[in-house]
A and B are shown apart, each in its own frame.
Chain A
Amino acid sequence: MDRLGEIHQLIIPLPGYTVTINLEVLVMTGIVFFLALTFGFAAGRKKSLLPGPVQVIGELIVTQLYGLTEEALGKTHAKTYAPLICALFIFLLISNWLGILPHLEEPTRDLNTPLSLGILGFVIAHYVGIKEKGFKIYIKSYFEPVFFLMPLNLIGELAKIVSISFRLFGNIMGGAIIILVVSYLTYSILLPPFLNVFFGLFVGTIQAFVFTMLTVVYISVQLK
């Protein structure tokens, strides 16, 4: 119970400031990359007309997400951004599910991962907006609908990053803490597998989907 907040960190003192690296999160993220790449290779290897099970899952994910992206962004932009969305969803799905395996923990449990993915989505959305609409119209959109609402629009954009990252972080870390505490209280009898299924599989899938959907929607809002 007292080990609740303990993580292994690598602290590198550089001239000027110290760099702190969370080792566990890096290792877990590496495992996620490895699993995702393995899944990708296994799904795309044979490309037969009668697909095997791995290929079916791969095609299911890709077609659904391509459809969603096309609906939101239009066909030309969807070609550029749908692979990013698919990669984001697969990364988040495997990350959130990693906690079910013993001795492994979700990389999305550390605030750095969701926050960096949120900033990634934000930067891409605004880059697309500026590229499409031109800088002037982009700046002008902050002054709509009323002139003096500009600072509030600005804060609203930043609040989008906070909300999207903290929602994923809160749900995943919250689930992990609840599983830990309830397992400690019930001496790991009976309850933990059901909690793991609910928080790990169910909530993990939904939160990964919601994060991906919101990123698509933020990009599409900038494109309008």
Chain B
Amino acid sequence: MTIEGADLVKAAALLGAGLSMGLGAIGPGVGEGMAAAKACEAIGRNPKEAGLLTRTMLVGQAVAESTGIYSLVIALLLLFVV
């Protein structure tokens, strides 16, 4: 197997895409889970405010998602554009 320059670059791009999305999914997963856990507890304490609490949780999770979306964008860029 002879490794040439362009092939090596492409291999590096593919590996980078995988690592980017793979490692990038760890943080948002844990963070959004924490948000969901605390929202469940809050609704348990105060069920009348369920609608407001759900909306707050979703907004907070959407913001926490942003780094995950950055990882996805970089991964897709590495796959298709570079």
Residues of chain A touching chain B, judged by Cβ–Cβ distance below 8 Å, are: 145-146, 149
Contact = CB atoms under 8 A, between A and B. Distances in A.
B19 interface: no
A146 B55 CA distance: 12
The 6 closest A-B pairs by CB, nearest first: A145-B58, A146-B62, A145-B62, A145-B59, A149-B62, A145-B55
Contacts of A145: 55, 58-59, 62
Contacts of B59: 145
Contacts of B55: 145
Contacts of A146: 62
6 contacts: A145-B55, A145-B58, A145-B59, A145-B62, A146-B62, A149-B62
Interface residues of B, number: 4
Nearest to A145: B58
B72 to A, nearest CB: 9
A149 B68 CA distance: 13
Contacts of A149: 62
Interface in B53-73: 55, 58-59, 62
Interface in B6-54: none
A145 B58 CA distance: 7
Nearest to B72: A152
A124 B58 CA distance: 26
A147 B55 CA distance: 15
A146 B62 CA distance: 8
A145 B62 CA distance: 8
A107 B58 CA distance: 39
A145 B65 CA distance: 13
Contacts of B62: 145-146, 149
Nearest to A144: B58
A61 B54 CA distance: 33
A146 B58 CA distance: 10
